[in-house]
């Protein structure tokens, strides 16, 4: 028996704000495959768990697994062009705990190689990988041609982040791979 078969799959949702081309929407594709649920109303989204928020100041770490297992992993599926407005609306209307992913590189064809400019599918997959749910993380990327590219670009980072014991360790780990931002700005 495979060791992962006894572990309950994490509940995954996307708050879909219908701001992008639905044919290119990775959250909708995951929903069509039965891998996540998309919610169009914020009020119908999960009440407990983690919200992936690219504007949060709190990094996701392996220590967040319990929060996710007891609730949900929720992504905000919106246009990068409207991210500030969208996050503001969500943060006012939900009690989900916001987390930002540590630095990763996008593998999707629109933003390939850009720091943090991941698709919803990539962000959800990375989150699962970091909290130790690697099989479920990989399965989320199987519907996409860029799934392997994302994993190839980030495997060393994902392994490093998932081996950390705290948020502080995750923060320090990302600076072992990337330059710290200048504080002279």
Instruction: Dump pLDDT digits (tens) for 29-60.
Output: 999 999 999 888 777 777 789 999 888 899 99
126 pLDDT above the threshold of 70: yes
Chain-centroid distance of CA 150 in Å reads 13
- H or E stretch including 86? helix 83-93
Tell me the average pLDDT across 78-87.
Answer: 67
In percent, the amount of the chain with pLDDT more than 90 equals 56
132 secondary structure, DSSP code: T
Angle separating helix axes 134-141 and 120-130, nearest 10 degrees: 160
Q: Is the pLDDT of residue 82 over 70?
A: no
Q: Give the residue among 52, 29, 55, 177 at the shortest CA–CA distance from 104.
A: 177
Provide the 3-class DSSP secondary structure of residue 122.
helix
CB neighbourhood size of 91 (10 A): 16
pTM check: above 0.85: yes
Q: d(Cα 170, Cα 159) in Å, to the nearest integer?
A: 11
């Amino acid at each position: 028996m495979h060791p992962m078969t006894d572990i309950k799959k994490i509940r995954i949702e996307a708050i879909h704000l219908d701001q992008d081309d639905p044919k290119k929407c990775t959250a909708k594709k995951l929903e069509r495959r039965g891998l996540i649920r998309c919610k169009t109303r914020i009020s119908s989204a999960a009440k407990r768990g983690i919200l992936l928020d690219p504007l949060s100041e709190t990094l996701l770490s392996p220590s967040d697994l319990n929060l996710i297992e007891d609730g949900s992993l929720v992504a905000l599926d919106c246009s990068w062009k409207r991210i500030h407005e969208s996050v503001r609306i969500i943060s006012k209307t939900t009690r989900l705990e916001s987390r930002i992913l540590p630095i990763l590189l996008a593998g999707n064809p629109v933003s390939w190689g850009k720091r943090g400019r991941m698709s919803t599918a990539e962000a959800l997959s990375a989150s699962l990988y970091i909290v130790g749910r690697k099989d479920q993380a990989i399965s989320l990327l199987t519907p996409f041609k860029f799934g392997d590219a994302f994993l190839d670009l980030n495997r060393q980072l994902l392994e490093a982040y998932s081996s950390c014991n705290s948020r502080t360790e995750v923060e320090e780990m990302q600076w072992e791979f990337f330059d710290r931002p200048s504080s002279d700005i």
